[in-house]
Chains A and B, each alone.
Chain A
Amino acid sequence: MATISLTRIKAFIHSIRWKITVAYLLIIVVAFCVIGYSLIQLVGEYLFTQRTADDQRIANDLAKNCGDYLVAFDARSLYDTAMDNATTGQTRVLVLDKLCTVQVDSDSRLNGRRFITAEVERVINGADSDYGFYDTGSAVKPWFRAAFNGFSGVNVMTGLYASAIRGPGDELVGVLVYLSGVQEIYESLRDIQLKILIWLIIVAAAVMVVNAMVLRTVTRPIGELNTGISRMSQGDLSARVVVRGNNEFASLAKAFNSMSERLEQLDKSRSQFVSNASHELKTPLSTMKILIETLMYQEPLDPGMAKEFLGDINQEIDRLNRIVSDLLTLVSIDNGMKMNLSELDIGALLQEQVKRLTPLARENGIELDCSAKESVEVDGDTLKLQQVIYNIIDNAIKYTPRGGEVHCTLSRTGKKAVIKVSDTGVGIPESDLPHIFDRFYRVDKARSRETGGTGLGLSIVKQFVLLHGGTIDAASTFGKGTTFTIELPLSGKRQED
């Protein structure tokens, strides 16, 4: 259980979701720290500047008022002045003589003591006034000078303003010290800090929620895709993913589904092909086995029958040979067959094949003609194009009954050479028409074998035409005849013309 939890934790830490979350948090924290620091600095500086100016002015005014009193040793007036300007817990006034001895303290706690600070020292040595800030609430260091721009840990921050008390002749007779609590400024800054912290938490939480939602829309399709790929890798080619929305992930899901669909079809085709090939190969072998066994177990052996059986066996071997030859051709095409391309006259090639098959047509009582009088050049492999045209015309002759007609035409349409072979044969049912170029596909399986076909001819024809950059199409009306149309691109020179 623990191992599983650890694994899940590790997986989570390595996940994009965690990394993006950490990155977002980092950005938010850094942004808030920078903004908060700047804000507190600005506000604090403004408040302190204002307060310092006000308090220093008060100290200077008090020092002016106290000059005559201090010279005249008028303790009561000094004390009353100090008390008038002191507020319990907020401000405090000290009057020092020029030996820094406290003569008047509005709190009456330091009278008689020497009060020596850096500010007092500077005033004693000639400055008109000076100020500083002290943390007066620290039990450990009651009078250490605190930072101006730092307030964490400050207990009671107090501003100390020293101002020179001058007597007759502008002579320094003492120092007035005005202590003013500035803790409320620190409290304000602490409030701001707290609010920034609260906002940081709120914004971080909000961003985390939004982040989780956004990440879910990103990682969910990835997860589903991952599941689909895993299923496919385990052989389940029917795996599909749900397409949601219309974004990049939806496109990816569609592509995946399309790919898996295609793979499934290929797998089916491969299975079909293997099945068909096995079947095609097994049929002549079975025939030969029967013939041979008949010969083997016949006593006494009839020479005539033996000759006939051997002739049949020879035909089956020829058929096997053709099938294997066609399969090799297809394999060769699938593996990237090399083409011996050259400019050739396709009209001459067509007439040559018509001429070659004319005896076969006459034998079957079929009229074969060709109307290809103009010269049309294409870039092609002569042998393969010969095989294409021969197969198409041979098929037309085979599936046209005696007394029928086969017409071959050649024309130029645009930048293509168009060869049409029409017959008045049995035609192809409409349902079979889309599959006639599939390997081992037969419209009429019994008759096809009778005619010695392998079921691979049209597949080879189509592959050859595709290798030449052309197309092949069949149009047929069942019982009336079929027309094959082959379009080949004209040679480069012809296209320029």
Chain B
Amino acid sequence: MRTTARLAALLVALCLVLSGCVLGEREPETVNEIRLPEAPQESENMILGEMLMNGLNEVTLYYPAPDGTSFSTVRRGVRSEAGQSLHEAALNALFDGSVGQSVRFPGDVKTLSCEYACGTATVNLSIDARNVQNPQELLALELAIGNTLLSIEGTRGVNVLIGQLSEGFWQLPLGVMTAPVASATADYAQIQAERERSTQPEGDPIERYALLYFPTDGGEWLVPELRPISARSGGFIRALIEALKQGPMDEACAIAALPDGVDLMDEAPEIQTLSSGERVLDLNFSPTLANYMAFSGLEVWELAGSLALTMCSFLPELDAVRVMVNGEAITMCELDGSIVRFPEGLIHREDFSVKIGSTTTLYLVNDADRLEPVRRAVSMRSALSPRSLLTELLRYAGNQDGLHFPLSGGVYPEDFLGVQASGGIARVNLSGSFYRGCQGLDESGERALIYSMINTLCQLSGIRAVRFYVEGSPADTLAGSVYLKSVLLPNPGIVASPADTAPPSQ
């Protein structure tokens, strides 16, 4: 009996030893005294307000060659001044006489304005631009501007106006440049060929890109949309009307100014030259349009602005449009609470240039704490302003349903104490109130909040990363998870894919 017990004990001990060898687990290895680099100490100046793009941005400037056939390029660092967009700074650099002695720009040409909205730039040059030797030089000037601005990241189209008028060649619209042109001579020859072709009844239609201006959903702005237009000579007016009737492609934040599917025109549109020398487009719409406006709530200024901006930005040397609905000319409208009158019903482009807005993408948080991009119409300046975008995000704070900015409330635009953008990094200074408002967020909520701001800011040209401060000082975290002493890159992966956000199929 004793021997058996000993044998059994030996067997058990052996099994335990062997099982310990085969199945044993080592104790978890502890990480002691991790030595990690500290965040660099910065000479802290409280970031207040907004300081943008005070760094140099590389821009390629295009200059017409002396022979007029090609362009010479100069890569140059351009610094945008306060309140100035990069496009304006690039145009100033282009017309700066210090570069290229042989460049033949008219001496007094100036940029009156540069509207940059929705990835398209509309440059309004002073009338001095017409002081050129011949149309080919004028074309070379416009192409140089277009090539230069198209070299800036994010620019999809460039439209050049001179004295608020679109320039044309033999009454053919030049349209919006969407790609750099290598040779002005070749482009000029192309236009000549198109003119000859357009006079023939069976000739192929001419294709151009136009900027269509649509009212925004909120009734605040008119946003441009780049659209290819195809028509024969004289048919561009109807083509533009039809394009406007089709409505915006980006329906998230813009609406159609004209109803689709019905014939709106009582009479054929016609361009008249008034005794004053102004070229005016008469648009006589049927009562259907009035019914549509009453039904859809479209404001008069939205209709007038959409038509004036679209037509005058495209049709050559068109000064104004005259819009008649049900036989009555639009002679006035209410704009931002004040009455704007149009003498003799002439609606000029500049009447509505202040209402040109842009679209931007805000990254809002869904119920799964993932981000969804939302297109919103804002002013052109806001679309380029990091602080304004952050302020836009705050409008969604406290939303209970759907997309939101995950702060419960008590946070105001002033809590973004300042934003400074330089060297590709936006430095955002948050207030203590903002910091307190973040307490209580869980990890995913905190991450969604921070990357909502980062992803929104990083869509701006020149901003590739964001660093946060609280009351001017670096803070470890807002709510305990995301380390804020690092410069944080945007997070493409947190953006919900369309498949994630699509409603379940029935």
Contact = CB atoms under 8 A, between A and B. Distances in A.
Interface string B446-458: 0100110000001
A278 interface: no
Interface in A77-102: 78-79, 83, 97-101
A285 B487 CA distance: 139
Interface in B1-25: 1, 4, 7, 10-11, 14-15, 18, 21-25
Interface in A82-132: 83, 97-101, 103-108, 111-114, 116-118, 121, 124-125, 132
Contacts of B141: none
A293 B23 CA distance: 104
Given A75-B464, A150-B23, A150-B25, A116 B36 contact: yes
A13 B1 contact: yes
A493 interface: no
B433 interface: no
B75 interface: no
Contact of B25 (A18, A116, A117, A152): A152
B31 A73 contact: no
A74 B464 contact: yes
Nearest to A125: B35
Contacts of A106: 493
A144 interface: yes
A190 to B, nearest CB: 11
Contact of A116 (B21, B31, B447): B31
A73 B35 CA distance: 25
Contacts of B443: 113
B28 interface: yes
B310 to A, nearest CB: 34
Main secondary structure on chain B at its contact with chain A?
loop
B481 interface: yes
A111 B23 contact: no
Given A101-B486, A124-B37, A108 B481 contact: no
Given A113-B481, A113-B482, A75 B25 contact: no
B464 A22 contact: no
Contact of B483 (A34, A105, A112, A132): A112
B339 interface: no
A284 interface: no
Interface in B417-475: 424-425, 443, 447, 450-451, 458, 464-465
A474 interface: no
Contacts of B15: 29, 33
A78 B450 CA distance: 19
B487 to A, nearest CB: 7
A116 B263 CA distance: 68
A118 B25 contact: no
Main secondary structure on chain A at its contact with chain B?
mixed
A26 interface: yes
A150 B488 CA distance: 39
Size bracket of the A interface: 35 or more
B36 A75 contact: no
Contacts, number: 139
Nearest to A37: B22
Interface string A60-79: 00000000000011111011
Given A121-B36, A124-B37, A33 B26 contact: no
A146 B493 contact: no
A414 interface: no
A322 interface: no
A73 B464 contact: yes
Contacts of A13: 1, 4
Contact of A153 (B25, B26, B482, B492): B25
Contacts of A103: 486, 488-489
Contacts of A105: 491, 493
A360 interface: no
A296 interface: no
A262 to B, nearest CB: 38
B153 to A, nearest CB: 13
A415 interface: no
Contact of B489 (A75, A121, A125): A75
Contacts of B18: 30, 33-34, 37
A105 B37 CA distance: 21
Contacts of A40: 22
Contacts of A150: 22-26
Given A75-B491, A112-B483, 16 more contacts: A26-B14, A73-B425, A75-B490, A78-B489, A97-B487, A99-B37, A101-B483, A101-B488, A105-B491, A111-B482, A111-B493, A111-B494, A112-B491, A113-B483, A144-B29, A145-B28
Interface of B: 1, 4, 7, 10-11, 14-15, 18, 21-26, 28-29, 31, 34-37, 39, 424-425, 443, 447, 450-451, 458, 464-465, 481-483, 485-494
14 contacts: A26-B7, A30-B14, A36-B22, A73-B424, A73-B489, A101-B483, A101-B486, A103-B488, A107-B493, A108-B493, A111-B482, A112-B481, A153-B25, A193-B22
Closest 7 CB pairs of A and B: A108-B493, A112-B482, A144-B28, A73-B464, A101-B486, A147-B26, A152-B23
